[in-house]
Structure 1
Amino acid sequence: MTPKSEAQIRLTYELDAEPTKVWRALTVPEYVSRWLGSLPCSDMDDEAAQDRIELRLISAEPGTYVRYSIKDNEAVSTVSFQINANDKGGTTFHIVHEQSMIAANCNFPRQRLAA
């Protein structure tokens, strides 16, 4: 089942950094965790997972495009990053963030509630 998009945010930034630096910030796990405040879910134990978002790579085109699924508590969304070199030696950086509905039988674990 494909998630149905409910809301979408589109942002575009002009960055001074060259596209290769931006690409590394989006794809090297230790940089991603610093920038997005998360780790890929396979790298987290149960306790750490409660305080951090879960990040799963959906697709990527090396050097130009990456798309992640992000789960924060019960909310699931996808974020796409498009990287293009600009005429100033920097990067035109496009972000599309879509909140999605997920099926009740998805593979994401339910959040545990404290008594």
Structure 2
Amino acid sequence: MFKWVIAIDLIFALVNFYLAWKIWKFRRVLAKTALTLACIERQTRTVLYPAPRVILTGKRGTHALRERYRSLQIYLQQVQQILTILQFLPIGQRWIWQQRQRKSG
């Protein structure tokens, strides 16, 4: 009976040592993973730190470009209206005809 108790205790001890060894290995993997993630986070922060300023600069540039495009559209509409009116005038038809001849000639 005494041999059985010692054998069971040894089995429990071996199982506990095995579990302790597995937990210790898992802890090392977690520690390495934590260090890697911390390094990645630092590098990401370094790369993305200026991003808000760059985005705002791009936003301002895009806004200015859109405003310029709107003003050019208005200007284009006005020029088209003027050319349409000139087509109906006798002098305008002659002027447009001369411009076309100069381009083709």
Give TM-score, length-normalised by structure 1. Answer: 0.18
Bigger relative CO (Cα 8 Å, ≥ 6 apart): 1
Task: From the two aligned structures, give the one with the greater helix fraction.
Answer: 2
Give TM-score, length-normalised by structure 2. Answer: 0.19
Greater C-alpha radius of gyration: 2
Task: From the two aligned structures, give the one with the greater strand fraction.
Answer: 1
